[in-house]
Chain A
Amino acid sequence: MIGQLEYATTLKYNFPNPPTVSTLKELQIPQRFIKLSLASMQSVKGRYLQIQSENLPTPIIAGDHSEIEEPIPMNISSVSARLMPLKPLQDETPIIAVDVSSVRLGETDVGILCAVRGAIVWSVQRKYGYLRIGPFPFHITEENSREVMSLLRFYRFFPSGLGSPRLEDMQVRLCNLVERWLQMSICSSSYGSIILWDGSLTAGTTDSPLTLIRRILEEAKNRLNTVLAFSKVTGIRVLGRRMTDLVLKYPPPCLFKMDELPHSTSGSLRLLGNVYIAKLAWGLSAFRLDIDRRVREEEGLRALRRLLGNDILYQGYPETLRLAHILSTFTASEVIGIQRFVAQRYNLRIVVRPSVRRTLFGPFGTRFEN
């Protein structure tokens, strides 16, 4: 008799005691999510897992892809910027950052196998703590993708009007599901904190439904939290030049407010935040920063000053958010480890799939594959 895997899922996770963010202790792990992971993996049993022969998969970071896929539409000529110098404000405001990443482990004959992991990092009096959640493996097939969508819709993380996404996009959807859930949990369980997101406050996309993002921001505002969303890549240009490049000559810390960006476009996109270019430290890095529009500007700026006073900045990027990114992303050895886990637990046989391009073209045009 083959033993059936049964995991008793934890309903409540006890956070490792960060006193000023003690409300995070109430953070709940959605049992349905873990069950979905386990249920999806049942369909993988005894199958072959094809992995890439040459390259280990590149992790997908929640938020990163959306910036590339859905840039801010705007009329460049109408944009003007306002320089705002900043002065750090040191108090004991907790800084909390969240990031999620996923990785494709391989393909089966009926679907794709991926893993998702999230990380929450907090800083209180410059002491850092973290919670890593996952990794959760998922075997996404045409059959079980409906269950995944139903979960997404259950949490209103996916617009109800849209049909099921392509199988290839489901990994991104899952990654976003975890990220939104973590953001929601943090915003509704912490108080008076600065919450850092990786990405922007642009809503109305498949991964960022307007109602959901509004609900999360509303929850944060009600509990006197301020959400600051940092984008590492931005397409905002003024007079044809990248805005992040234009601010490099100004002494940090400073902020440029993009005053006349439209709140919405002819499409479904909505900018739920005021958009800034933040140059927070010396160096070559400036970032797009979105602050909730419904937070008063002074409050938003004060939150940024608190971030400057209470967190370390590395190349102008908040350390808390940097650590969340580092802790969530997958290294090559972790990918091999997870592949071993699924191979052992689910009797999966791993086969190496040769590169079609390399087979067809040899070294010609494939040298960058290595």
Chain B
Amino acid sequence: MRLYKKAGNTLQILSFPSEDVEKGSYLLIEDLRAEKSMIAQVVDIQFANVPGVMEEFLREISAEDSMEGEDFDPLDVSSHILYIQDARILVCKIHGTLENGVLRFDGSWLPSRTHSRVRRLSVKRLVEMADVGRQLPIHIGETMDGSRLTIDASALDGKLNIITGKKGTGKSHFSKLLVLGLIDYGATVVVLDLNGEYVNLGLARDGSRNRYHERIMVLKPRENFKVALSQIDLSIILRILIHSLDLPGSSAREFRRIWRFLKEKGRLTLHDLGEAIKNWNCNVHVRDALYSRYHALLRSELFTDNLAEAVFLERLLGGMKRGGALIVDLSDTSPSDRRIVVEYMLGKIQEMLSQWRVRAVFLFAEEAHLYLRETYWDDIITRMRHFGLFTTFITNQPNTIRENIYRQADNIFLFNFVNDHDLEAISRAARTDAETVISIVRDLPPHHCLILGEAVKDFPIVVKVRPIDVQTMGHTRLFFDVERLSKAPRALINGSKALSR
């Protein structure tokens, strides 16, 4: 390999096919005279503009089309000619400089073309140099050169993370891996599980209980997730009414009075709330508005007057001091009920965090745009972060996450995308340049992830995500399963095949 060109932070390196380099590989350009090395990542591989190649191929095509022949080449010169024709240009992005064994994020110098030696830098060596994943390692999988990659759990601590990729590429699997990795280090995790994919995290693939079983708690609204009104702070119920059920401000003021009245009387029950609204002396429109919201709360079946069946989140989360995950299964919940549940959860978590009843919570939110109100996004990434709520968004629609969130994300875990609009959306990630993201992500195979950000010390690394021994439940339910396929009428299939022939 030889250094050919440098323009901005892009290098072009001339390489031959025998040199084993692929997109995402790291190269070390060692300037032997300057005694320092440049670290660059291959973001694209192109054919070198070898003179005469077009002429050569035209000759071959015309020969292939119209005639058969042989070459008598006793010295095997042809292999060298073919080798030259396959010469490649590696388009690389500069990521840093290595000088006297010290890594610096500086690419402003120009290595010598004549005195530089270019060689592949193994990811193993790179992560050692960059001190990636040493303190609290979470084993993520294998890098392209087969070395084990771990990221630091502390790189997710206090951070905003995004996991995105098209359907079926392994986002949820990766997210589960992070959840379990955080649990291992005693973290408290809350998962807003839109499709019920995390509910079996405590079970191994064979259905037996795994080592996380005791640390996973699944809450399903209407079933085992109900709360008593007496447990709820007025601010939380108002957030639900205003943000989830769109209660106007004037009605909210009347509700506040009703709530305080009932609380003073010690009658904060569903029945008494309904009666109070019905008999409250107020504008008829306000009463109607409050009454319709009251029925929405009833219909959600999240609330109960029976303290025995009520869930005490403080106790649940407080009991996870050695690490655990609370899975909120939203799979069979209507969109409006989903918003009520999420509003309650976030309000309650914020309350506990502000009162230091929980140290910090790692929130994993799948397809958050389906239940998170508009103003919450900014709230989560700015204010709530300081309370100790560290969010990971998981989505297959990258354009549902706003640009400012991408810009503030500390870690981005990217799976494959091919759609240009999606690629454009993720290229806004501030942790690296758009060219690196678009070029590498487009060619990622399933279960391969490009990690950007703090977790990899800003050296984008491609990793093949390791399998985990849990029941994943992330598979799409299919109509044409094996059983149905075997029962399909043979005559119909054979008839269609015959027609297609």
**Chain A residues, CB < 8 A from B52:** 56, 331-335
B494 within 8 A of partner (CB): no
Which residue of A9, A128, A129 has the most chain B CB atoms within 10 A of its CB atom? A128
Inter-subunit contact A333/B67 (CB<8 Å): no
Inter-subunit contact A130/B75 (CB<8 Å): no
B83 within 8 A of partner (CB): yes
**Chain A residues, CB < 8 A from B63:** 130, 323, 327
B206 within 8 A of partner (CB): no
A338 within 8 A of partner (CB): yes
Report the interface size class on chain A: 35 or more
B77 within 8 A of partner (CB): yes
**Chain A residues, CB < 8 A from B488:** none
Among the 9-residue stretches A69-77, A133-141, A236-244, the one with 4 or more Cβ atoms under 8 Å from chain B is A133-141
Q: Report how many A-B pairs have Cβ atoms within 8 Å.
A: 105
Q: In the complex, how many angstroms separate the beta carbon of B324 from the nearest chain A beta carbon?
A: 63
**Chain A residues, CB < 8 A from B50:** 332-333, 336
**Chain B residues, CB < 8 A from A131:** 69-72
Who on chain B is nearest to A120 by CB? B69
Inter-subunit contact A16/B80 (CB<8 Å): no
Report Cα–Cα, A241/B220, bound state, in Å.
100
Inter-subunit contact A341/B72 (CB<8 Å): no
Known contacts A131-B69, A134-B73, A137-B75: A333-B84 contact under CB 8 Å: yes
**Chain B residues, CB < 8 A from A323:** 62-63, 67
Size of the B side of the interface (Cβ < 8 Å), in residues, is: 27
| Contact residue among A13, A38, A331 (Cβ-Cβ distance under 8 Å from B59) | A331
Question: A residues 79-133 with Cβ under 8 Å of B?
Answer: 115, 121, 127-133
Report Cα–Cα, A186/B83, bound state, in Å.
32
Q: 0/1 per residue, B199-214, Cβ < 8 Å to A?
A: 0000000000000000
**Chain A residues, CB < 8 A from B51:** 56, 331-333, 336
Inter-subunit contact B71/A132 (CB<8 Å): yes
Q: In the complex, how many angstroms separate the beta carbon of B114 from the nearest chain A beta carbon?
A: 12
**Chain B residues, CB < 8 A from A13:** 72
**Chain B residues, CB < 8 A from A34:** 74
B307 within 8 A of partner (CB): no
Question: A residues 238-265 with Cβ under 8 Å of B?
Answer: none
**Chain A residues, CB < 8 A from B19:** none
**Chain A residues, CB < 8 A from B72:** 10, 13, 29, 131-134
Q: 0/1 per residue, B64-94, Cβ < 8 Å to A?
A: 0011111111110110111111000000000
Which residue of A121, A336, A337 has the most chain B CB atoms within 10 A of its CB atom? A337
Inter-subunit contact A344/B69 (CB<8 Å): no
Report Cα–Cα, A331/B67, bound state, in Å.
20
| Contact residue among A129, A326, A331, A340 (Cβ-Cβ distance under 8 Å from B68) | A129
Q: 0/1 per residue, A251-295, Cβ < 8 Å to B?
A: 000000000000000000000000000000000000000000000
Known contacts A129-B67, A129-B68: A333-B74 contact under CB 8 Å: no
Q: In the complex, how many angstroms separate the beta carbon of A114 from the nearest chain B beta carbon?
A: 13
Known contacts A16-B68, A29-B72, A131-B70: A333-B77 contact under CB 8 Å: no
Report Cα–Cα, A51/B67, bound state, in Å.
35
Who on chain A is nearest to B52 by CB? A332
Q: 0/1 per residue, B45-56, Cβ < 8 Å to A?
A: 000001111011
Inter-subunit contact A333/B75 (CB<8 Å): no
Q: In the complex, how many angstroms separate the beta carbon of B55 from the nearest chain A beta carbon?
A: 5
**Chain A residues, CB < 8 A from B83:** 337, 340
**Chain B residues, CB < 8 A from A127:** 67
Inter-subunit contact A132/B69 (CB<8 Å): yes
Inter-subunit contact A121/B74 (CB<8 Å): no
A150 within 8 A of partner (CB): no
Q: 0/1 per residue, A315-336, Cβ < 8 Å to B?
A: 0000000010011000111111
Report Cα–Cα, A331/B59, bound state, in Å.
10
Inter-subunit contact A333/B56 (CB<8 Å): yes
Report Cα–Cα, A9/B53, bound state, in Å.
30
Inter-subunit contact A338/B77 (CB<8 Å): yes
Inter-subunit contact A10/B69 (CB<8 Å): no
Which residue of A129, A136, A323, A333 has the most chain B CB atoms within 10 A of its CB atom? A333
Inter-subunit contact B69/A129 (CB<8 Å): yes
Inter-subunit contact B67/A137 (CB<8 Å): no
**Chain B residues, CB < 8 A from A121:** 67, 69
| Contact residue among A128, A129, A337 (Cβ-Cβ distance under 8 Å from B81) | A337
Report Cα–Cα, A97/B369, bound state, in Å.
73
A368 within 8 A of partner (CB): no
Q: In the complex, how many angstroms separate the beta carbon of A37 from the nearest chain B beta carbon?
A: 7
Question: A residues 34-89 with Cβ under 8 Å of B?
Answer: 34, 37-38, 56
**Chain B residues, CB < 8 A from A340:** 80, 83-84
Inter-subunit contact B77/A135 (CB<8 Å): yes
Q: 0/1 per residue, B13-49, Cβ < 8 Å to A?
A: 0000000000000000000000000000000000000
Inter-subunit contact B84/A132 (CB<8 Å): no
Question: B residues 180-208 with Cβ under 8 Å of A?
Answer: none
Q: B residues near A, CB below 8 A? A: 50-53, 55-56, 59, 62-63, 66-75, 77-78, 80-85
Q: Could you name 8 residue pairs across A and B whose Cβ atoms are closer than 8 Å?
A: A16-B70, A129-B69, A130-B69, A132-B73, A326-B59, A331-B51, A337-B85, A338-B77
Given contact pairs A16-B70, A332-B55, a sample of 12 additional A-B residue pairs in the complex whose CB atoms are under 8 Å apart: A7-B75, A38-B75, A56-B51, A128-B67, A129-B69, A130-B69, A331-B51, A332-B52, A336-B50, A338-B77, A340-B84, A341-B75
Chain A to chain B: the 6 pairs with minimum beta-carbon distance, closest first? A332-B52, A337-B81, A128-B67, A130-B69, A331-B52, A332-B51
